[in-house]
Structure 1
Amino acid sequence: MVTLFRRIRQKLIDSGSVTKYLLYAIGEILLVVIGILIALQVNNWNENRINKINESLILNDLQKEFRMNQVKLDSTISYHRVLLGATNEVLDLINEPEEVIIQHNPDSLIYLTLNYFDYSPSRSVISELISSGKLSLISSDSLRMLIFDWDSALGENEEAYDTMDEMSQNLTLPYLTNNGSMKEIDQYGILMGNGGSKFESRNYLLFQELEFENHMDNQAWGITNYLDKLHRLENVINLILKHTDTQANQP
């Protein structure tokens, strides 16, 4: 093809027709430009196709990670609802007669108010997206905003947990250590096999103290605040799963 163009160009030069040669030159330039545009279009199409494939893989990875995070979160929420119920039961027993308090196994209830744990979801997919710059491959602005919202909600959740833990470690546990029997309480947890205290336990007497009520009220507030942040995470997870599922199934 190039040889053919050269022959035509040479013939026009030899004929001495400037007009025909200029028209030919313009036509040749146009053909080159069209060829470049077609090449760019093909390249863009191929790049978009690859980006769509990579986006689909990313959405599938997000789906898998957040499905696991959802299961773990549901379990965490259910467990802390039980803890909040136990804490409220303790508060309901404040200043009740000794026989009423003992019927409710107060040591096990106190143990439950202290047996909270942190929610630690998987972050590997999102961390890799951000560090590699691949977050831009997600075409949905809403989904990208949800991912940032997830990170923000996790920060709020960690803050709520730290607040609850700080109150428990610095206020409630020192109070119980100084005024009650921790061994009687701990026998309902991982120290179950060690048995109760060798001293006479009167933890039920704590229920007659205003300071104990204050500590349990702090525990109830801390758990409730933590549950609120867990529910915020739950909402974000549900929205992310909805978006990733919808986009992953698009043609």
Structure 2
Amino acid sequence: MIKFFRNIRKKLLAEGKTTNYLKYAIGEIILVVIGILIALQINNWNENRKDRMKEKTILSSLNKEFEKNLEQFNTVKQLHLNNLRAQNIVLRNIDKLDKPKSIDSVSKYALGIFGGITFNPSNGIVQSLISSGDINIITNDTLKNYLVSWKDVLDDYTEEEIISKEFWSNVIEPYIIKNGDFRIENSQKNFRLLKDSVFINMIVRKHSYTNNIITEIDDKNSVEDYLNEIVRLSKTN
């Protein structure tokens, strides 16, 4: 094809048809430019098609990861709610231990007032997307914004859980080991603990930390909101 055009140019020059030659040369340049533009368009279309296929794979993996994260979070949330409920009941009755009904309530819920529960989601795909730059393949800007700010939202939430967990592990549990009895729930040691002002203050403090966790969950743009939205926005047809 190139040789064919070259022969035409030579023929026009040989015949002295300079004006026709210039017109032809300009036309040839235009054809070349059009050809380049078409090739670029085809290349862009192919790249876009590859990106959409890759995006579909990314969204599928992301959705599976956050479905599991949401499932774990719902379990942890319920445990926190149970923990808070037990603490409320114990604190309402701890000053009424001279009454059998209050003793029964405290005995029933005492084991549920402590513990260290934390939400530990999988973040491998989000981290990979951000570090590799593949997050830019995702066309949904809302989803991208959720993924970029996910770590900060998660850190704010887990900070409250860590405070509560460390208070249990570093303060309350050692105190019970020293002054109480983990083996026999209704032992005299444990009954004395419930009248110990230091121990009662620990329960009050733990209740405050648990309440902070629930407040963090209920806040606007909470970790729960992010989980639900990422799951919803990453669903593929």
Give unmatched runs, 5+ long, in structure 1: 186-195
1:85 aligned partner:
85
- 2:65–2:122: 8 Å Cα contact kept in structure 1? yes
Q: 1:218 aligns with which of 202, 205, 220?
A: 205
2:229 aligned partner:
239
Q: Percent identity?
A: 34
2:149 aligned partner:
149
Cα shift at 1:180: 2.4
1:168 aligned partner:
168
The alignment status of 1:64 with 2:64, answered yes or no, reads yes
Alpha-carbon separation, structure 2, partners of 1:165 and 1:105: 22
Cα shift at 1:230: 4.4
Please report the TM-score for the alignment, with normalisation by the length of structure 2.
0.89
- 1:80–1:116: 8 Å Cα contact kept in structure 2? no
Between stretches 176-185 and 76-85, larger displacement belongs to 176-185
Alpha-carbon separation, structure 2, partners of 1:222 and 1:120: 18
Alpha-carbon separation, structure 2, partners of 1:119 and 1:229: 13
Alpha-carbon separation, structure 2, partners of 1:239 and 1:105: 39
Structure 1 pair 238–121 and aligned structure 2 pair: CA distance change class (3 A): same
- 2:116–2:168: 8 Å Cα contact kept in structure 1? no
1:124 aligned partner:
124
Q: State the AA in 2 paired with 1:95.
A: D
2:135 aligned partner:
135
Alpha-carbon separation, structure 1, partners of 2:28 and 2:171: 86
Cα shift at 1:156: 1.2
- 1:164–1:223: 8 Å Cα contact kept in structure 2? yes
- 2:180–2:193: 8 Å Cα contact kept in structure 1? yes
Please report the TM-score for the alignment, with normalisation by the length of structure 1.
0.84
Cα shift at 1:227: 3.0
Alpha-carbon separation, structure 1, partners of 2:106 and 2:160: 29
Cα shift at 1:111: 2.8
Cα shift at 1:123: 1.1
1:192 aligned partner:
none
Alpha-carbon separation, structure 2, partners of 1:102 and 1:202: 15
Alpha-carbon separation, structure 2, partners of 1:164 and 1:41: 58
- 1:67–1:241: 8 Å Cα contact kept in structure 2? yes
Between 1 and 2, higher relative CO (CA 8 Å, sep ≥ 6) is seen in 1
Give unmatched runs, 5+ long, in structure 2: none
